[in-house]
Amino acid sequence: MSEDFYDILGVSRDASEEEIQEAYRKKAREYHPDVSDDPDAEEKFKQVKKAKEVLTDEEKRRAYDQMGHERFEQAEKRGGFDGGGGRGGRGDPFGGGFNMEDIFDQFFGGGRRRRRDSNRPRQGQDLKTTLEIDLEEAYEGAEKQVTIRRPETCPDCSGNGHPPDADSQTCPECNGRGQVTQVQQTPMGRVQQTTTCRRCGGEGTLYEETCSTCGGDGVVRNEATLTVEIPAGIQDGQTLRMEREGAPGENGGPNGDLLIDVSIRDHPEFERDGDDLNRREPISFPQAVFGDTIEVPTLDGDIEFEIPSGTQSGETFRLEGKGMPHLRRRGHGDLYVTVQVYTPEELNSEQREALEAFAEASDEEISVDEGFFEKLKNSI
Ligand SMILES: [Zn+2]
Ligand SMILES: [Zn+2]
């Protein structure tokens, strides 16, 4: 494909704006990435769009004609024009209405406001929603449903905002051009500004009737229920993107995306730290002293764990690979089990005697508080 904007659209250098618009519509349909099989469709589509943007804007087209393709592109990359072809004919410092916001929109898709201010295809807005899941679901991965209210192209007017058979007339404000040019005298010189026609919203046509279903917006809000794949190992606060499930595009542009912020509910038994899990496990004094084999719950079912003899309260053991799965790669984090030696708050007489004997055998003298004996009596 040629680099020259006229060649890209296949029009002559003195083509009228209508001819350019017409050529653009044809090319845009041909190369629209949603319909074209051409592997380079997206790139070509962008070029076509760009060519039309420049050539349908009086000021930009004049600059383009003066500077030629290469210098125009360079000037644009620098973010504006400086001197306009060296002929000194461009007296105003504002670059003749070549508006930075426009350039920005064009390159970074910033033009996502819902305004029918041109015929160029626009991507629809991204939509956002939230989803709360359990730790178990984050562990296993899950399929969840989300219900959103999503703007959709009005079915009764196909998004045009007026009934198909509505009477129409050419917009008298802009004479059908969709744009109006204002010239202002400022202390810096003459400034010419081209803006979208407010009366017709850039369409160039006025319709006698508005669509009663959407009130002329071209958009209705419908409830949509979608199935979301939650990947195993997802983190709290992570955002999932469902491509093309957002608001509809305009003028044949693609839909926006749906962004889902996922939060994970606190779990009563496990605390998550990245891909590791922490858990507290109560054990008795004799278990700590003699050691024991206990059942420890994991998110993958109970496992047997051997407590070594002489374990201290507060000691932490690592169970390798028993934590959360790593997101989109193999393996798991670890499970850290912190044991806590459980101190009985009440004793029966047998237990008391055994403990007293234990203290005596350890040469310990214990002055027991009266309240404790009261408690003991009550529990016997
Ligand atoms: Zn108008
Ligand atoms: Zn409608």
Cα angle 196, 197, 203; round to 5? 90
What is the reported pLDDT for 120? 80
For residue 163, the CA-to-ligand 2 centroid distance in Å is 7
Binding residue per annotation — 157?
Answer: yes
Tokens of 236: 């709290």
* Helix residue ranges per DSSP H, 228-296: 285-290
Q: Which numbered ligand comes closest to the C-alpha of 169? A: 1
Give the ligand at the shortest distance from the Cα of 205. 1
d(CA 105, CA 111): 5
Q: Average pLDDT, stretch 187-215?
A: 87
Ligand nearest to the CA of 153: 2
- Cα(24) to ligand 2 centroid in Å equals 26
Q: Say if residue 154 carries a ligand binding annotation.
A: yes
CA distances, 178 to each of 170, 191, 318 (Å): 10, 20, 69
Q: 197: annotated binding-site residue?
A: yes
pLDDT of residue 297 exceeding 90, the answer is: yes
Per DSSP, the three-state class of 283 is: strand
Q: What is the pLDDT of residue 372?
A: 60
**C-alpha of residue 196 to centroid of ligand 1, in Å:** 8
Please check if 200 is assigned to a binding site: yes
Report pLDDT for 266: 96
Helices (H), the chain: 5-9, 17-31, 41-55, 58-77, 100-108, 135-140, 285-290, 349-361, 370-379
Ligand 1 centre to CA of 76 (Å) is 28
Q: Do residues 220 and 214 touch, judged by C-beta distance below 8 A?
A: yes
Q: Which ligand is nearest to the CA of 197?
A: 1
For ligand 1, the distance from its centroid to the CA atom of residue 130, given in whole angstroms, is 41
pLDDT at 288: 97
| Average of per-residue pLDDT across 67-86 | 64
d(CA 206, ligand 1 centre) in Å? 8
- Percentage above 70 pLDDT, the chain: 84
What digits encode the pLDDT tens for the residues 130-188? 999 999 999 999 999 999 999 888 889 888 889 988 899 999 999 999 899 888 787 77
87-145: pLDDT as tens digits: 333 333 333 344 444 433 333 333 333 344 456 888 989 999 999 999 999 999 999 99
Pairing of strands 168-170, 142-153: unpaired
Residue 246 in this model has a pLDDT that exceeds 60: yes
Confidence of residue 202 (pLDDT cuts 50, 70, 90): confident
Structure tokens at 50: 């760009």
* Segment of 23-27, 73-77, 303-307 carrying the highest mean pLDDT: 303-307
Q: What is the pLDDT of residue 306?
A: 96
CA of 130 to the centre of ligand 2 (A): 29
- Residues lying with their CB under 5 A of ligand 1, a single-atom ion: 171, 173-174, 197, 199-200
- Taken in order of first residue, the domains within the chain and their CATH numbers are 122-161+217-265 (2.60.260.20), 167-208 (no CATH), 271-379 (2.60.260.20)
Q: Which ligand is nearest to the CA of 177?
A: 1
Q: Is 211 annotated as a binding residue?
A: yes
CA–centroid distance, residue 257 to ligand 2 (Å): 23
Q: No. of H helices and E strands in the chain?
A: 9, 15
Please report the pLDDT score of residue 161 as a whole number: 87
Cα separation of 301 and 65, whole Å? 73
- Torsion angles phi and psi, residue 64, rounded to 5: -65, -45
> What is the tens place of the pLDDT at every residue in 319-345?
999 999 999 999 999 999 999 999 999
Per-residue confidence band for 218, with pLDDT thresholds at 50, 70 and 90: confident
Whole-number Å distance, alpha carbon 47 to ligand 1 midpoint, is 27
Polymer length in residues for the chain: 380
Q: Is 214 annotated as a binding residue?
A: yes
pLDDT value at position 76? Answer: 76
The whole-angstrom separation of Cα 116 and Cα 134 is 43
What pLDDT does 379 receive? Answer: 52
Range 44-58 average pLDDT? 86
Q: Is the pLDDT score of 314 beyond 80? A: yes
| Proximal ligand: closest to the CA of 217 | 2
